[in-house]
Amino acid sequence: MLETLAQAVINGLLIGGIYALVSIGVTLIFGVVKIVNFAQGEFVMIGMYLSFFLATQFGIDPVVSLVVTMPVLFVVGVLIQHFLIRRVLGQNDMPQIFLTFALSLLLVNLSLMLFTANYRTVHTWYSDEALHIGGLYIPLAKLFAFALAMVLSAALWIFLHTTDLGKAMRAAAQNRDVAMLMGINPNRVFCVALGVALALAGAAGSLLMPFYPAYPLVGQVFVLMAFVAVVLGTLGNVPGALVASLMMGVAESLGIQFIGADSGLIVVFLMLLLTLALRPSGLAGGRAR
């Protein structure tokens, strides 16, 4: 019993790392640019297909292909901010919501057309390997994904707290007008926010590839969890999103283990409802960090 519980917690933490990469991106964009990116999951999907093709065409390990997917998606993020989102900022909410929603639909349908609905998988030397510690079972691919997700989250935190550009992003998130008075160019900061957020989504895609199939709708699995984590972790709060993602991974895993294979999400949404009812501003409370 205790071992089953520990195993479920470990499974949850491992997948929670991936949720964190997606939700941190969503919360970063929301905190800095003040828009909800409904297409975030689709960039995970693009990251997966990119890694898939790099693996099948060039034999590059999906985890190694991070060094390609992250910069590529960073550039995509900058372009999306500069040519699309910039045009709807300052207008009312509707064009902003529809823009990222339309982007999501477009990307899903494009990938259906280009890649078909077939599941694509990459098999690596570690795809079937696992560590056995005591009676616990830790799949290597998920361990790599979790470890790198934590490294990337920490790197983002360090960027936001030690570099001038990172501090400028936090300043713009907290008070955009005053940030402009300090010489901060908002569009530049927003471009970096989009770039970083999409790079993290791309990283999630690459890290998923050794143990999760790519298909056009795969992003929706992760974006749903990401949105819940962003709300639980307080909108705009990066460490909050990280902690909430890990908690949700564990909650989902416990739900699957103890309630039923189809019930993982019930626990997650129950958590969301309880949090919203008891602590409406999220677990961390307060403001964007």
Degrees, nearest 5: CA angle 133-139-144: 110
46, 152, 179, 228: which one contacts another protein (CB under 8 A)? 179
289 binds another protein (CB under 8 A): yes
Provide the minimum distance between the beta carbon of 162 and another protein in the complex, in angstroms, as a whole number.
10
Token pair for 125: 């030397």
Out of 9, 167, 220, 224, which residue is the one contacting another protein (CB under 8 A)? 167
- When binding is defined by CB under 8 A, the residue of 6, 151, 155, 178 that contacts another protein is 178
| Burial of 130 per CB tally in 10 Å (0-12, 13-18, 19+) | middle
Q: Which residue has the tokens 């990222």?
A: 100
Residue 168 interacting with another protein (CB under 8 A): yes
Return the amino acid letter for 269. Answer: F
Q: Which is nearer to another protein, 40 or 234 (CB)?
A: 234
How many residues are given for the chain?
A: 289
Residue 247: both structure tokens together: 């908690």
In angstroms, rounded to a whole number, what is the distance separating the alpha carbons of residues 106 and 115? 14
Q: Closest by alpha carbon to 47, among 62, 57, 29?
A: 62
- Taking the complex as a whole, the smallest distance from the CB of residue 288 to another protein amounts, in Å, to 7
Q: Is 177 in the site for another protein (CB under 8 A)?
A: yes
Instruction: Choose between 122 and 179: whose C-beta lies nearer to another protein.
Output: 179
Stretch that binds another protein, among 10-18, 125-133, 163-171, 260-268 (CB under 8 A): 163-171
Cβ 3 to another protein, closest distance in Å?
Answer: 42
**Closest listed residue to residue 245, CA positions, set 149, 106, 112, 179:** 149
Rounded to whole angstroms, how far apart are CA atoms 149 and 273?
A: 27
Task: Using the rule CB under 8 A, give the single segment among 39-47, 97-105, 178-186, 219-227 that binds another protein.
Answer: 178-186
CA pair distance 110, 5, nearest whole angstrom: 41
Taking the complex as a whole, the smallest distance from the CB of residue 170 to another protein amounts, in Å, to 6
- Window 180 to 239, contacts with another protein (CB under 8 A): 180-186
Is 186 or 213 the residue whose CB approaches another protein more closely? 186
Which residues sit opposite 130 in a β-bridge?
139
Residues that bind another protein (CB under 8 A): 164, 167-168, 170-171, 174-175, 177-186, 286-289
